[in-house]
């Protein structure tokens, strides 16, 4: 499957629209699932926006793709950065709304939720490249450890320890109050 995707990505790079259609159809639902997890379950509409923006970015930046890593890795990085941007924009709009209208409590909860989520995403971004990708693919895109190991071109054991190290690092990097918040959730 991964090799197939690499072939279609190569064709997409050369401007072949049908190959892009195949790629997008194969990965579309996983992209949406990842975006939903990254954005939060209350933001299905934003997750759809994230997929749309990511597909445009994927098509536009395809000529820059180098056949070194997996296509999935490339795609989920795009999804991740798009969701980060959308988060920032959404948070800003909630903050502005807060100043305009007085539907306080809901908006405040919304804002706290968004802030916690943003801290989590920012912390993931601070992880080393491979650890970041492993966490993203395993926890947000729902790939099994075995699939992640294939995508990262590593052994299963190495992938397992990579994920464990990433989780440990993530735990240390997260602010204490968020760690408590997450453990209570």
Binding stretches for another protein (CB under 8 A): 15, 17, 20-21, 24-25, 28-29, 32-33, 36, 44, 47-48, 51-52, 55-56, 58-64, 142
> Which is closer to another protein, CB of 47 or CB of 121?
47
Please tell me the distance from the alpha carbon of residue 145 to that of residue 134, in angstroms, as a whole number: 9
| Shortest separation between residue 62's beta carbon and another protein, angstroms | 6
> Which is closer to another protein, CB of 13 or CB of 169?
13
> Which is closer to another protein, CB of 53 or CB of 174?
53
Residue 88 to residues 74, 81, 105, 107: CA-CA distances in angstroms? 22, 11, 20, 15
Q: What are phi and psi of 67, to 5 degrees?
A: -75, 65
Please tell me the distance from the alpha carbon of residue 41 to that of residue 146, in angstroms, as a whole number: 27
| Shortest separation between residue 31's beta carbon and another protein, angstroms | 9
> Which is closer to another protein, CB of 7 or CB of 107?
7
| Shortest separation between residue 181's beta carbon and another protein, angstroms | 24
* Residues in CB range of 28: below 8 A, 6 or more apart: 51, 55
Nearest to 64 by CA among 49, 80, 78, 85: 78
| Shortest separation between residue 171's beta carbon and another protein, angstroms | 26
């Amino acid at each position: 499957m991964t090799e197939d995707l690499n072939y279609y990505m190569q064709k997409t790079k050369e401007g072949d629209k049908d190959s892009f259609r195949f790629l997008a159809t194969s990965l579309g639902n996983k992209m949406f699932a990842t975006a939903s997890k990254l954005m939060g379950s209350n933001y299905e509409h934003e997750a759809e926006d994230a997929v749309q923006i990511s597909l445009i970015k994927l098509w536009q930046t395809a000529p820059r793709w180098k056949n070194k890593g997996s296509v999935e890795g490339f795609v989920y990085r795009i999804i991740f950065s798009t969701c980060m941007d959308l988060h920032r924009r959404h948070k800003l709009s909630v903050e502005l709304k807060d100043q305009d209208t007085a539907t306080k409590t809901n908006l405040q909860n919304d804002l706290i939720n968004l802030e916690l989520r943003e801290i989590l995403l920012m912390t993931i971004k601070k992880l080393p490249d491979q650890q970041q990708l492993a966490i993203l693919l395993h926890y947000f895109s729902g790939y099994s450890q075995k699939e992640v190991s294939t995508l990262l071109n590593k052994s299963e054991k190495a992938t397992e320890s990579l994920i464990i190290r990433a989780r440990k690092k993530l735990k240390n990097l997260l602010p204490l109050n968020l760690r408590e918040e997450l453990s209570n959730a």
